[in-house]
Amino acid sequence: MDEACHGERLWLKMRLMNDASLIDDKVNAVFQRLFDVSPPDLDDQDRRGELPRWDSLGHLELVAALEKEFAVKIPLEKAIMMETVGEVKRTMAELDSKTP
């Protein structure tokens, strides 16, 4: 593998890592704003119903806030599947990668 190709792959890997970090930060900020939870207290395994106010109504508010924050439309089937903070982050990363 030549150095240019290696450098390009490294750049792409770093960019994807930065994008994932940015998505995590934005999702954490939405959770913090809606559910009054600080990022150190937020874990990817936290489930709907475990966080204060993340109930069915809170989930609708979360979906609306994420759509606004990321300027995307979350399909109903994806919104229903977002049961943990980690699933929310993965869904937003997937939708963000499809946004032009």
Q: Are 94 and 87 in contact (CB under 8 A)?
A: no
CATH class of 3-98: mainly alpha
pTM (global) more than 0.85? no
**How far is Cα 87 from Cα 43, in angstroms, rounded to an integer?**
11
**How far is Cα 45 from Cα 57, in angstroms, rounded to an integer?**
20
**Half-sphere exposure of residue 6, counting CA atoms within 13 Å on the CB side?**
3
Q: What does the chain come to in residues? A: 100
**pLDDT-derived band of residue 13, with 50, 70 and 90 as boundaries?**
very low
Sequence spans of domains, the chain: 3-98
The pLDDT tens digits of the residues spanning 29-87 come to: 999 999 999 878 899 999 999 998 999 999 999 999 999 999 999 999 999 999 999 99
Query: Assign residue 90 a region: left if phi > 0, alpha if psi is -120 to 50, beta otherwise?
Result: alpha
| pLDDT score, position 89 | 95
| pLDDT score, position 20 | 74
